[in-house]
Amino acid sequence: MWLYLMTPVGLYYLLRWYREKQVVSNLQDKHVFITGCDSGFGNLLARQLDRRGMRVLAACLTEKGATELRNKTSDRLETVILDVTKTESIVAATQWVKERVGNRGLWGLVNNAGISFPSGPNEWMNKEDFAKILDVNLLGVIEVTLSMLPLVRKAKGRVVNVSSILGRISIVGGGYCISKYGVEAFSDSLRRELCYFGVKVAIIEPGFFQTAISSSDGHFSHVKMLWEQASSEVKEFYDKKFLLSCEWDLSLVTDCMEHALTSRHPRTRYSAGWDAKLIYIPLSYLPTCLSDAFFYRTSMKPEKAL
């Protein structure tokens, strides 16, 4: 009996493995535009695709980041300065990309740029704190995508949006989770619209990884001050919301991005990190009362922290 049950499952995974191993042809002729290449996932992906022979167009926020990236890659890789919160910067970058891809179009757009600070109790935030994250993580993704879309559609290429496991289940205050829920919704609607044009949209949902995504500039000094003044009980309460230490192997994420760009049959969603696969995704499917109880039991009682 078990044999009859396991055979279809085994055949399904064998077929999926075979389909996902098929690679797009002529990768060396395809251009990929990546945002947020100063460090972290974007930086590693740019170097990874460059080693594979693809034509990488890397967008960095700073000239320093762009210079450092060029020093680590081949002459094929080109960089441009891009601030995803500024329309004029996006328009200029789009024109720059158009000049390089020509009639071939843009094979891959990777919306990777993002920030996570400030995060903490919602009560500590103000409207500007939420708006800052949303401008980068959500509105930036939307505007860059809309600007580059004609080039991607011409190539019948790929859009890869970096979301987060916190786009499935919200466990921290501030704008980060809100922005990632928005990226999930935007990507879903985009995927259904673009499938008629031969364009495929993939979502990357990393767990907790150690990157330089956080930015604590002076604009958020009030949040930093409240955090520094918080009791050890408050800090322990919020630290325990992140049950596992951050993963350091960023290639777990960039390998998913690479597959979404190079496979003939990319997945709709990629989850990276064993915490995402074994804890947070299963929790996101549980009834709300059970997932709430899980987080309640794994941290101290809220009245002691707040």
Q: Could you state, in order of their start, the residue ranges of all structural domains in the chain? A: 24-218+246-282
Neighbours of 60 (CB within 10 A): 26
Task: Tell me which of 12, 18, 176, 181 is the catalytic residue.
Answer: 176
Predicted confidence (pLDDT) at residue 24 exceeds the cutoff of 80 = yes
Tokens of 58: 């890397």
The answer, yes or no, to whether residue 231 has pLDDT greater than 60, is no
Please determine, for residue 218, whether its predicted confidence score (pLDDT) is greater than 90.
no
Q: Is 34 helix (H, G, I), strand (E, B) or coil?
A: strand
Q: Which residue has the tokens 């990874």?
A: 48
Mean of per-residue pLDDT scores for the chain:
87
Q: What pLDDT score was predicted for residue 172? A: 87
Q: What is the pTM of this model?
A: 0.86
The better pLDDT of the pair 232, 99 is held by 99
DSSP 39: S
Nearest to 193 by CA among 154, 149, 162, 155: 149
Residue 210, classed as helix, strand or coil, is: coil
What are residue 272's DSSP bridge partners? 206
Report the distance separating Cα 234 and Cα 231, nearest Å.
5
Instruction: Report the percent of the chain where pLDDT is more than 70.
Output: 83
Higher pLDDT, 168 or 246: 168
In this prediction, residue 108 has a pLDDT band, given cuts at 50, 70 and 90, of very high
Please report the pLDDT score of residue 228 as a whole number: 53
Mean pLDDT of 118-143: 92
Question: Left, alpha or beta for 245 (phi > 0: left; psi -120 to 50: alpha)?
Answer: beta
Whether residue 176 lies in the annotated active site: yes
The answer to whether the beta carbons of residues 201 and 159 sit under 8 Å apart is yes
Residue 15 Cα distances to 18, 265, 269, angstroms: 5, 12, 18
Residue type, 155: A
The H helix count followed by the E strand count for the chain is 14, 7
Length of the chain: 306
**Domain 24-218+246-282, classified CATH 3.40.50.720, yes or no:** yes
